Structure 1
C-alpha cells in the first residue's frame, strides 16, 4: 500500500528553484568576465598541462569581448543570489528546518556510509531520514560557499571600497583565485547533485517540485498461527 508523505515545504522549493538558474547565469556571465584575463592553468613555468578554457571554447559560445556586459549581469544577479541566500538561511532558522540540514557529530561517519552505498560496497539500506549525513554536509557546504563567493566577489570587484576585505582574503590575486575555485566547486556540486537526483529517481525529483513523495507503507508482520490443543471429552 502506498501513501503520500510531505517532504519539502513550499519556501524551500522556491529558494531551490530560484537559486539554480541564478547561479548558473552567474557562472555564465562570470566566464565573460574571465575571458578578459584568462590566466589560470595547470602546469609549471612555461609548461601547460591544462588550460581551463581554450580560445576555441570562447569562439564556439561567442563569449569574447563581453567584459562590460558580463560585469553588468554578474553584479545584478549577485543581488538576487545574495537576497535569495539570506532569505533561505533566515527561513531555515525561523522554521526549524536547520535541524534537518545542519551536520552533527554523526554526519561524517554517515556520509562515508552513503559513499559506500552509492559505490555498491554497502548492502544494507541507509536509515530513512529527510537528509542523510552526506546531504547535510553538501547543503551546508554550499551555503558557506555562497557566503565565500559574495565576500571574494566584493573583494575583487570593489578592492578600493573594501580594502580590509581584500587584505583579509590574502590580497587581490588570492581573492580572485578563491573566487575561481569556488566557481569550480559549484560546477562539481551541480554535476554530483544532478547525478544523485537521476539515481534517486522520479519520486525524489517530484518531492522538490510538488513537495511530497509517494512512500510504500511497511507491510505489517503476519501473525504466527498457533495450534490450540484439542479439547477432550
Structure 2
C-alpha cells in the first residue's frame, strides 16, 4: 500500500533551490574576477605545462576584461549567499534537524558501504533514515565549505581592515587559494549530487520540490 509522507520542510526546500542560482552567479562572477590574475598553473623548470583555464575557455565564454562587472556581481550575490546560508544554518539548529544531518560515529564506515552499493559491488544498502551516511557527510561538508568561502572571501576583499581574518586564513595568497579550491569543490559536489539524484529516482527529486514522498507501507 502506497502512502504520502512528508520529508522536507518548506524552508529547507526554499534555501536549497535559492542556493543553486545564487551559487551559479557567484561562480560565474568569480571567473570574471579570476581572469584579472590567472595565476594557477603547473610549472616545471620555468615552463608552464598546464594552465588551469586555457585561453580558448575565456574566449568561448566571453570572459576577458570584465573585472569591474565581475566584482560588482560577486559582491551583490555574496549577500544573498550569506543570508540564505545563515537562514538554513539557523533553521537546522533551532528545529533540531541537525540531528538527522550531522554525521555520527558510524557514518564514515556506512558511507563506504553506500559507495559500494552505488557502484553495484555491494548488494544490500546500509540502513538509512532521512539521509544516508554519505549524504550526512556531504551535506555537513558543504555547510563547512560555505562558511569557509565567506571567511576566505572577506579576507581577500578586505585584507587590511580584516587583517585578523586574513591571518586566520593563512594570509592573503593562501586565502585566495582556499577560496578557489572551495569553488572547485562546489562544482564537483554539484556533479556528484546530480548523479546521485538521478540514481535515487523521481520520488526523491519530487520530495525536494513538493516536500512529500510516496512510500510503501505494510
Structure of larger gyration radius: 1
Name 1:99's counterpart in structure 2: 99
**Normalized per residue, which structure has more helix?**
2
Structure 1 stretches lacking a partner, 5+ long:
219-233
Q: Please report how far the alpha carbon of residue 153 of structure 1 lies from its aligned counterpart in structure 2 after TM superposition.
A: 0.4
TM alignment of 1:51-90, pairs within 5 A: 51-90=51-90
Give the conservation status (yes or no) of the 8 Å contact 2:114–2:125.
Answer: no
Q: Please report how far the alpha carbon of residue 208 of structure 1 lies from its aligned counterpart in structure 2 after TM superposition.
A: 0.2
Normalising by structure 2, we get a TM-score of 0.97
Between the aligned partners of 1:57 and 1:23, the Cα distance in structure 2 is 20
The CA RMSD over aligned residues, in Å, is 1.1
Between the aligned partners of 1:103 and 1:76, the Cα distance in structure 2 is 33
Between the aligned partners of 1:162 and 1:183, the Cα distance in structure 2 is 22
Normalising by structure 1, we get a TM-score of 0.91
Between the aligned partners of 2:59 and 2:16, the Cα distance in structure 1 is 32
Indicate whether 1:112 and 2:112 are aligned: yes
Q: Please report how far the alpha carbon of residue 49 of structure 1 lies from its aligned counterpart in structure 2 after TM superposition.
A: 3.6
Between the aligned partners of 1:100 and 1:42, the Cα distance in structure 2 is 42
Deviates more, 1:50-59 or 1:149-158: 50-59
State the secondary structure of the residue aligned to 1:159: coil
Structure 2 stretches lacking a partner, 5+ long:
none
Between the aligned partners of 2:87 and 2:148, the Cα distance in structure 1 is 17
Number of residue pairs matched by the alignment: 218
Structure 1's 128 and 169: CA in aligned 2 closer, same or farther, altered over 3 A? closer
